[in-house]
Every structure is written in structure tokens, then in C-alpha cells.
Chain A
Amino acid sequence: AQSVTQPDIHITVSEGASLELRCNYSYGATPYLFWYVQSPGQGLQLLLKYFSGDTLVQGIKGFEAEFKRSQSSFNLRKPSVHWSDAAEYFCAVGGHGQNFVFGPGTRLSVLP
């Protein structure tokens, strides 16, 4: 069965610092991988997705993620965090005709 883990429940970084949010997945075939962001009281917004091809994908708001098949990981990165990036981040895995499975989320706090 597919599953997603996000080892960090809560991360705090200073504004301007770099960020990496971890995501590991378990999936029987080549997965479709996603990162979503959820601001307080809001729905989810897609940051980026990986289907195939280049393993480094660029998303919105300056985020990027790298798919590493050997490590079953899809970590999210940003070189310089802005205060507006404070939110909950969800990694998700899916496949053809399969439903999404979301990780438990990582809450990001940004210090001024």
C-alpha cells in the first residue's frame, strides 16, 4: 500500500534562511509526487508536481523539489524563506487511476 511520511512535524527557520522539508514515500510503481501548501483556514494549493523526466522540478513561489528514486524521497527546498511562507506543507503520492495519499504535514514557522 502506498504511504507518505514527513518526519518533521514542525520546523522553524529565520527569514532569509534556506529550507528543506523532507518527504519519503512507499509506492509499488513509479509515483506521481506532489507538494501542497495550506495556509491557515484555507484549502490546499499545489506548489509543484513530479510525473516523469527531470528529477528536479520547479514550482511556484520559488520552491523546488528533487525526486530521488533510490531514497524514495521527494524533498522540498527553498533557498531563501519569506515570512509569508509560514504554513502547513503536505507531500502527496498518487498514481494512474489511484487516489492521492497525503503525508501528515510539516508546519513551517518563520522568525523575523
Chain B
Amino acid sequence: NAGVMQNPRHLVRRRGQEARLRCSPMKGHSHVYWYRQLPEEGLKFMVYLQKENIIDESGMPKERFSAEFPKEGPSILRIQQVVRGDSAAYFCASSLGAENEKLFFGSGTQLSVL
């Protein structure tokens, strides 16, 4: 009965490289949320996806960031041409439905940009 799985736990990239963060939601969950946690700050919503659809991406930076949740496989948060300011912990959460009843969070991916 695995929870929300995120990998990798730690990701180091040099400026200009691409970062791909993966999130496998809990079994049976079709709603995925991505959050970013910057040092000394709270969680900031980035994007909300259902299978094959982006429902709300109001928190996503307009450039370099994209997310997908394909019919098969994990949700992917992709950051192109990373910059030092992208260094943060990225958390994924999943829920069974859209009623905000309960989010289950993964342990996060710590992205470090050198």
C-alpha cells in the first residue's frame, strides 16, 4: 500500500540543464498537485492535474516549467534551463477526487542548481 512516491529524492543540476521530477500518486488517485517549497517559505501551489489534463496551472512560471500526467505512468514536472533560483523542494500530492477531502503528500524532491 505505497503512498505517493517521488523520485529522485535529491537532484543536482548545473545551470542550463533540464530537471525532471517524477511523482507516482497513490493507487487509485487520479488527481495530482505539485507544490514548491522555497527555503524559509511555505508551500506554493504550482499546478493541478488530472489524468491527461491540466486543470489549473496558475502557479506555474510562464517559462521553462511544464507538467504532465499521462494516461499511463507518473506525473512529470519538467524544468528546462534551470537557474539557481529554481533550487527548492518540490512536493507532489495526490487525492482521490476533486473535493479537497484529503491530500497525500510525497516526501519531495530536493532540487539543487549549481
What residues make up the interface of A, taking CB atoms closer than 8 Å to B?
4, 6, 32, 36, 41-46, 49, 90, 92, 94-105
Contact = CB atoms under 8 A, between A and B. Distances in A.
Contacts, number: 57
A45 B93 CA distance: 11
Given A42-B107, A44-B105, A45-B105, A90 B43 contact: yes
Interface stretch (B13-21, B61-69, B77-85, B95-103): B95-103
Given A43-B91, A102-B35, A95 B42 contact: no
Size bracket of the B interface: 20 to 34
Interface of B: 4, 6, 33, 35, 41-45, 48, 56, 58-59, 91, 93, 98-108
B33 A96 contact: no
Contacts of B44: 102
Contact of B100 (A32, A43, A45, A104): A32
A104 to B, nearest CB: 4
A1 B35 CA distance: 18
Contacts of B102: 46, 49
